[in-house]
Amino acid sequence: MSLLALCQWLEKTAWSIALHESLWVYPIVESVHVLTLCLFLGMAVMLDLRLLGLVLRRVAMSHVMGQLMPWMIAGFTLMVISGALLFYAIPVRTYLNIFFRIKVVLLILAGLNAWIFQRTVYRRVAEWDLDPIAPKWARRASVASLAIWSMIVVAGRMIAYNWFDSPDLH
Protein backbone atom coordinates (compact mmCIF):
# COMPACT_ATOMS: atom_id res chain seq x y z
CA MET A 1 0.00 0.00 0.00
CA SER A 2 1.39 3.40 -0.90
CA LEU A 3 1.66 6.16 1.68
CA LEU A 4 -1.03 8.09 -0.16
CA ALA A 5 -3.38 5.11 -0.05
CA LEU A 6 -2.65 4.78 3.66
CA CYS A 7 -3.54 8.46 4.17
CA GLN A 8 -6.71 8.03 2.12
CA TRP A 9 -7.69 5.11 4.31
CA LEU A 10 -6.84 7.07 7.48
CA GLU A 11 -8.99 9.95 6.31
CA LYS A 12 -12.04 7.70 6.09
CA THR A 13 -11.75 6.36 9.63
CA ALA A 14 -14.44 7.59 11.99
CA TRP A 15 -12.01 9.13 14.49
CA SER A 16 -10.24 11.13 11.81
CA ILE A 17 -13.51 12.59 10.60
CA ALA A 18 -14.64 13.27 14.17
CA LEU A 19 -11.37 15.07 14.97
CA HIS A 20 -11.47 17.06 11.74
CA GLU A 21 -15.03 18.20 12.28
CA SER A 22 -14.87 18.74 16.03
CA LEU A 23 -15.64 22.23 17.23
CA TRP A 24 -13.33 22.13 20.25
CA VAL A 25 -11.00 19.14 20.19
CA TYR A 26 -9.10 20.07 17.04
CA PRO A 27 -8.41 23.66 18.19
CA ILE A 28 -7.39 22.37 21.62
CA VAL A 29 -4.94 19.86 20.12
CA GLU A 30 -3.60 22.64 17.89
CA SER A 31 -3.15 24.94 20.91
CA VAL A 32 -1.35 22.22 22.86
CA HIS A 33 0.97 21.75 19.86
CA VAL A 34 1.76 25.48 19.74
CA LEU A 35 2.10 26.07 23.47
CA THR A 36 4.37 23.06 23.88
CA LEU A 37 6.84 25.06 21.77
CA CYS A 38 7.59 26.89 25.01
CA LEU A 39 8.42 23.72 26.86
CA PHE A 40 10.33 21.79 24.22
CA LEU A 41 11.85 24.44 21.97
CA GLY A 42 12.19 27.02 24.74
CA MET A 43 14.36 24.63 26.73
CA ALA A 44 16.28 23.49 23.63
CA VAL A 45 17.05 27.13 22.84
CA MET A 46 18.32 27.69 26.40
CA LEU A 47 20.59 24.66 26.00
CA ASP A 48 21.90 25.91 22.66
CA LEU A 49 22.49 29.39 24.10
CA ARG A 50 24.44 27.82 26.99
CA LEU A 51 26.71 26.06 24.46
CA LEU A 52 27.33 29.40 22.77
CA GLY A 53 28.14 30.99 26.12
CA LEU A 54 25.17 33.36 25.93
CA VAL A 55 23.33 32.24 29.06
CA LEU A 56 24.13 30.41 32.34
CA ARG A 57 27.86 30.61 31.66
CA ARG A 58 28.73 29.82 35.27
CA VAL A 59 26.61 26.67 35.37
CA ALA A 60 28.29 23.41 34.30
CA MET A 61 27.12 22.21 30.88
CA SER A 62 26.28 18.72 32.14
CA HIS A 63 24.17 20.25 34.92
CA VAL A 64 22.19 22.39 32.45
CA MET A 65 21.70 19.32 30.25
CA GLY A 66 20.60 17.17 33.18
CA GLN A 67 18.12 19.75 34.46
CA LEU A 68 16.58 20.62 31.09
CA MET A 69 16.49 17.16 29.48
CA PRO A 70 13.46 15.75 31.38
CA TRP A 71 11.41 18.83 30.41
CA MET A 72 12.56 18.62 26.82
CA ILE A 73 11.61 14.95 26.65
CA ALA A 74 8.19 15.71 28.16
CA GLY A 75 7.71 18.59 25.72
CA PHE A 76 8.86 16.53 22.76
CA THR A 77 6.49 13.70 23.68
CA LEU A 78 3.54 16.13 23.82
CA MET A 79 4.68 17.66 20.52
CA VAL A 80 4.75 14.27 18.78
CA ILE A 81 1.39 13.14 20.18
CA SER A 82 -0.41 16.40 19.35
CA GLY A 83 1.36 16.58 15.98
CA ALA A 84 0.34 13.01 15.10
CA LEU A 85 -3.27 13.85 16.01
CA LEU A 86 -3.17 16.97 13.81
CA PHE A 87 -1.91 14.82 10.93
CA TYR A 88 -4.53 12.17 11.64
CA ALA A 89 -7.30 14.80 11.42
CA ILE A 90 -6.25 15.91 7.91
CA PRO A 91 -4.08 13.14 6.47
CA VAL A 92 -4.29 13.43 2.67
CA ARG A 93 -3.96 17.20 2.40
CA THR A 94 -1.12 17.24 4.93
CA TYR A 95 0.71 14.38 3.24
CA LEU A 96 0.60 16.20 -0.09
CA ASN A 97 1.56 19.56 1.44
CA ILE A 98 5.05 20.69 0.45
CA PHE A 99 5.71 22.43 3.79
CA PHE A 100 4.79 19.28 5.71
CA ARG A 101 7.33 17.34 3.67
CA ILE A 102 9.98 19.99 4.24
CA LYS A 103 9.19 19.84 7.94
CA VAL A 104 9.62 16.05 8.05
CA VAL A 105 13.03 16.30 6.35
CA LEU A 106 14.08 19.08 8.76
CA LEU A 107 12.94 17.01 11.76
CA ILE A 108 15.17 14.16 10.60
CA LEU A 109 18.08 16.60 10.22
CA ALA A 110 17.46 17.99 13.71
CA GLY A 111 17.44 14.46 15.12
CA LEU A 112 20.67 13.60 13.31
CA ASN A 113 22.32 16.79 14.55
CA ALA A 114 21.36 16.02 18.16
CA TRP A 115 22.47 12.40 17.81
CA ILE A 116 25.87 13.34 16.38
CA PHE A 117 26.32 15.96 19.12
CA GLN A 118 25.57 13.37 21.83
CA ARG A 119 27.83 10.74 20.25
CA THR A 120 30.83 12.96 19.64
CA VAL A 121 31.66 16.23 21.37
CA TYR A 122 29.21 15.78 24.27
CA ARG A 123 30.83 12.44 25.14
CA ARG A 124 33.89 14.40 26.22
CA VAL A 125 31.86 16.97 28.15
CA ALA A 126 33.95 16.33 31.27
CA GLU A 127 36.85 18.06 29.50
CA TRP A 128 34.88 21.29 28.87
CA ASP A 129 32.04 21.11 31.38
CA LEU A 130 32.96 24.32 33.16
CA ASP A 131 34.08 26.32 30.13
CA PRO A 132 31.81 29.36 29.73
CA ILE A 133 31.82 28.78 25.96
CA ALA A 134 31.69 25.24 24.56
CA PRO A 135 34.28 23.96 22.03
CA LYS A 136 33.96 24.68 18.32
CA TRP A 137 32.09 21.52 17.31
CA ALA A 138 29.59 21.91 20.14
CA ARG A 139 28.96 25.51 19.06
CA ARG A 140 28.46 24.37 15.47
CA ALA A 141 25.90 21.79 16.61
CA SER A 142 24.19 24.53 18.60
CA VAL A 143 23.96 26.92 15.64
CA ALA A 144 22.74 24.08 13.42
CA SER A 145 20.10 23.19 16.01
CA LEU A 146 18.87 26.79 16.30
CA ALA A 147 18.72 27.16 12.51
CA ILE A 148 16.98 23.84 11.85
CA TRP A 149 14.41 24.28 14.62
CA SER A 150 13.62 27.81 13.44
CA MET A 151 12.99 26.45 9.95
CA ILE A 152 10.82 23.69 11.44
CA VAL A 153 8.64 26.29 13.17
CA VAL A 154 8.33 28.31 9.96
CA ALA A 155 7.55 25.22 7.85
CA GLY A 156 5.06 24.03 10.46
CA ARG A 157 3.25 27.36 10.44
CA MET A 158 3.13 27.29 6.63
CA ILE A 159 1.37 23.90 6.51
CA ALA A 160 -1.83 25.77 7.30
CA TYR A 161 -1.60 27.77 4.08
CA ASN A 162 -2.74 26.10 0.90
CA TRP A 163 -0.77 28.04 -1.73
CA PHE A 164 0.75 24.94 -3.25
CA ASP A 165 -2.04 22.46 -2.61
CA SER A 166 -2.98 20.21 -5.45
CA PRO A 167 -6.05 21.67 -7.22
CA ASP A 168 -7.72 18.24 -6.97
CA LEU A 169 -8.07 18.80 -3.22
CA HIS A 170 -10.45 21.72 -3.50
Is 27 one of the binding residues for other proteins (CB under 8 A)?
yes
Tell which positions 92-131 bind other proteins, by CB under 8 A: none
Shortest Cβ 49–other proteins spacing (Å): 7
Binding mask 34-73 for other proteins (x = CB under 8 A): xx-xxx-xxxxxx--x-----xxxxx---x---xx--x--
CA 168, chain centre distance (Å): 30
Q: Binding segment for other proteins among 33-41, 90-98, 101-109, 110-118 (CB under 8 A)?
A: 33-41
Cβ 48 vs Cβ 115: under 8 Å: no
Q: 68-77 — which CB contacts under 8 Å span 24+ positions?
A: 68/43, 71/39, 71/43, 72/39, 72/40, 72/43, 72/44, 72/47, 74/39, 75/36, 75/38, 75/39, 75/40, 75/41, 75/43, 76/40
Q: Binding segment for other proteins among 90-98, 106-114, 136-144, 153-161 (CB under 8 A)?
A: 153-161
Binding site for other proteins (CB under 8 A): 27, 30-31, 34-35, 37-39, 41-46, 49, 55-59, 63, 67-68, 71, 150, 153-154, 157-158, 160-161, 163
